[in-house]
Structure 1
Amino acid sequence: MRKNQLIYFSLLIFCFSCGHTTTEIEKENSFAKGADISWLPQMEASGYTFYNDKGMPEDCFKILKTHGINAIRLRTWVNPSDDPHSGHCSKEETVAMAKRAKDWGMRVMIDFHYSDSWADPAKQHKPKDWEGLDFEELKKALYDYTYDVMLALKNKDVTPEWVQLGNEIATGMIYPEGHTDNWPQLAQLLNRGYDAVKRVSPETKIILHVDQGNNNNRFRWWFDNAEKYGAKYDIIGMSYYPYWLEGRPDYTETIDDLGYNLTDIMKRYGKEVMVVETGGEDNQPQNTFDMLRAVIQKVKSIPDGKGLGVFYWEPQSARSWSHYALSAWGDDGRPTKALDAFID
């Protein structure tokens, strides 16, 4: 009997180990279908109720997972305010959300804005606590902050699969020191962030993120300089929003440019690529669905599996709450057809 029990338990452990290994391999090779949902804590705190396709109240994470979302992106700000639309996203809130995402079986991307509020091509404001620092002190502040957030995540048993250093940094970050007018300094700042992340989590991949993913000249100029000045990174990330392009063209007018750019920069720099932000108009769900399908197809078609995934920016941020026109949520509190694009 004892011998039989030993055999049984040995087989059980063997089967568990095989299953675990398979899960890890599938995770490493699977396509990331992601959503940035950094507004979610504020929405929940305000009393917003999320409904599933059947009109039943349900956790937003479950609704997203049901629609194929397997990865979550979260922005983090240094010392944010409590404003419901341009605040929150503190270290503590980001870590709590990341833990929640992990508990739902989702992969995690952390987006360091290196600001107290929104950072994008129009603005890259230095955190207030970093004002007045000389350049060496600024590099140390960036390293210490990045390390602190990564360590807080590790202490909650969360290992981000990806980390962005800066958000849409086409003209740099942490102005004026990190502006692209001074590429040597920008590269040094990025490398301090890289070193901090890798010290805590060597397996985490570092993303550098530029907007206008259909604009090949923009990406060649930016990443030629990144290479020239020795910026360290693993993945090229891009935004793709036809809505924000001049004249607001339909996606069909620029989707092939996106596909060309993805393949070109992958080959030119030998890096994996991702669309880390995209979205379409909430009142045109069929068009947004079609766009998402096309974007996913373009990324999946990158040679050698170098296209890693596509992330929708704040799909759950219903316009009635956020006043943002590019969610994938309707006035009825339910996801629109657009979100179905992530279902295989």
Structure 2
Amino acid sequence: MKYLYVFIGLILIVSCNSSDLKNNEEEQDDITPPDPIATFYKGMDLSFQSELETYNINYRDETGTVVDLLDFVEDNGTNLVRLKLWHTPQNGQNSLTDVKAYAQRVKSKNMAFLLDIHYSDFWADPGTQTPPSAWQNMTDIEIRTAVYTYTKDVITQLKNQNTLPEIIQIGNETDSGFLWNYGKVWDAFSDNWSNYAALVGEAIRAIKDVDTQDEVQIMLHHSNVENAIYFFTELEPFSLDFDMIGLSYYPQFQTKNLNLVASKVNELATTFEKDIFMVEVAYPFTLDWNDNQNNFIGNINQTIPEFTPSPEGQKAYMEWLINMIKTIPEDRGKGFCYWAPDWIAFSGNESTSTNGSAWENQCLFDFNNKALPAFDAFRIN
């Protein structure tokens, strides 16, 4: 009888343990693993670096100690670098060779890489979208083939050297389309959206044919926060397969109403269900200049009343911008990219209008090449 009680006890213990184990397994099945923490990109457009490095510029930290620029920005919070690509640049800068070389350095720092394909031999923006010289006088079919072939070759070369971009931008500030007049959607070509969409579609197809693991985020870029809704509304019927809306915000050219900026950005995110990336931003730390070239900002009326053109005002602007992006609904705000933080008066303060910077008062380094307080905004997680 004693052994019978022991046997029954063992059965009860095993039964209870089995029941507990089953309950634990059911509870674990009900637990949904948390989503990975999304990266918030704090970027810089360093497209000038392949040229500026030839001038042996001494960038300095806040104490005045000379630093390597890429090392310094990475150590102080920058986690993405944007590089522009021109097809056949006349001055040799921003060629695919340049981009490939600098992309390797970016990736070696474990930083993300944003590729800005201009589809031009020089600057492309809302007022200038000139096709590469090699693509002049093509038919519509021929230029679509050229877009596909060129894009696929670029992305293939980058992938083959293990520098596949995290984000690829199809065209630069394409408010008026690109590759004029093939993809122009402005003025007499305002009904040309189908041709523009077809060209963009070929670029997207080329990227996806190389990026078979769907690792790359595809961006379309508009230069104006206020007017971008019209642009993306016109594109919507074509169901283009892109991920991000890229925006420029320069207060000297756009509204200075901060509430309007935030509301328009939020409207873009919710209307089109796309992520938002403020891909070109900047603000002056002074209205003075450090060479003999005129600057893009030199008047108090070009600035935002809430932020003085001073080192602390520049920092405060960046803090506002980051907060605005992070509060976009549904976590659609993915980051920002400061444009040309390194484009200082590289030939000294006697440089002329043909060999100077129009941007030195909007850099993130002062006139002694020392890092400014705005870097604090990059250091915040």
Q: TM-score surpassing 0.5?
A: yes
Q: SS in structure 2 opposite 1:223?
A: helix
Q: Take 1:114 and 1:230, find their aligned partners in 2: how far apart are those partners?
A: 22
The structural deviation recorded for 1:93 is 0.6
Q: Take 1:41 and 1:282, find their aligned partners in 2: how far apart are those partners?
A: 25
The structural deviation recorded for 1:25 is 4.2
Specify which of 264, 269, 273 is matched with residue 266 of structure 1.
269
Quick check: which has more Rg, 1 or 2?
Answer: 2
Structure 1 counterpart of 2:370, one-letter code: R
Counterpart check, 1:144 vs 2:170: no
Please say if residues 280 and 288 of structure 1, whose CA atoms lie closer than 8 Å, have aligned partners that are also in contact. yes
Cα RMSD of the aligned pairs, angstroms, is 1.6
Specify which of 128, 135, 139 is matched with residue 134 of structure 1.
139
Q: Which residue of 2 aligns with 1:177?
A: 182
More helix by share: 1
Q: SS in structure 2 opposite 1:340?
A: helix
Structure 2 counterpart of 1:226, one-letter code: L
Q: Take 1:55 and 1:66, find their aligned partners in 2: how far apart are those partners?
A: 16
Q: Take 2:69 and 2:314, find their aligned partners in 1: how far apart are those partners?
A: 20
Q: Take 2:179 and 2:59, find their aligned partners in 1: how far apart are those partners?
A: 36
User: Which region of structure 1 is more displaced relative to structure 2, 184-193 or 333-342?
Assistant: 333-342
User: Which region of structure 1 is more displaced relative to structure 2, 330-339 or 310-319?
Assistant: 330-339
Q: Take 1:108 and 1:134, find their aligned partners in 2: how far apart are those partners?
A: 33
Q: Which residue of 1 aligns with 2:93?
A: 88
The structural deviation recorded for 1:81 is 2.0
Specify which of 100, 115, 121 is matched with residue 105 of structure 2.
100
Q: Which residue of 2 aligns with 1:206?
A: 218
Counterpart check, 1:281 vs 2:284: yes
Q: Which residue of 1 aligns with 2:324?
A: 298
Q: State the Cα deviation string for residues 294-315 of structure 1 (Å, max 9, x = none).
A: 1111110112211100110011
Q: Take 1:326 and 1:139, find their aligned partners in 2: how far apart are those partners?
A: 38
Q: SS in structure 1 opposite 2:283?
A: coil
Structure 1's consecutive aligned runs of 4 or more residues displaced over 6 angstroms after TM superposition are none
Q: State the Cα deviation string for residues 185-214 of structure 1 (Å, max 9, x = none).
A: 00001011111111112220110000122x
Structure 1 segments unaligned to the other structure (5+ residues): 1-23
Q: SS in structure 2 opposite 1:153?
A: helix
Residues 1-344 of structure 1 aligned to structure 2 (within 5 Å):
25-26=36-37, 29-82=38-91, 88-180=93-185, 181=189, 182-201=192-211, 202-213=214-225, 215=226, 218-245=227-254, 253-283=256-286, 284-321=310-347, 322-324=357-359, 325-344=361-380
Q: Take 1:99 and 1:242, find their aligned partners in 2: how far apart are those partners?
A: 33
Q: Take 2:47 and 2:343, find their aligned partners in 1: how far apart are those partners?
A: 9
Q: SS in structure 1 opposite 2:374?
A: helix
Q: Take 1:339 and 1:125, find their aligned partners in 2: how far apart are those partners?
A: 36
Structure 2 segments unaligned to the other structure (5+ residues): 1-34, 287-309, 348-356
Q: State the Cα deviation string for residues 27-71 of structure 1 (Å, max 9, x = none).
A: xx1210000000011110122222222222221111112321111
Alignment identity in percent? Answer: 29
Please say if residues 285 and 328 of structure 1, whose CA atoms lie closer than 8 Å, have aligned partners that are also in contact. no
Structure 2 counterpart of 1:207, one-letter code: M
Please say if residues 273 and 306 of structure 1, whose CA atoms lie closer than 8 Å, have aligned partners that are also in contact. yes
Please say if residues 320 and 331 of structure 1, whose CA atoms lie closer than 8 Å, have aligned partners that are also in contact. no
Structure 2 counterpart of 1:193, one-letter code: A
Q: SS in structure 1 opposite 2:316?
A: helix
Q: Take 1:320 and 1:92, find their aligned partners in 2: how far apart are those partners?
A: 23
Please say if residues 121 and 131 of structure 2, whose CA atoms lie closer than 8 Å, have aligned partners that are also in contact. yes
User: Which region of structure 1 is more displaced relative to structure 2, 143-152 or 43-52?
Assistant: 43-52
Structure 2 counterpart of 1:72, one-letter code: V
Q: Take 1:329 and 1:200, find their aligned partners in 2: how far apart are those partners?
A: 38
The structural deviation recorded for 1:227 is 0.6
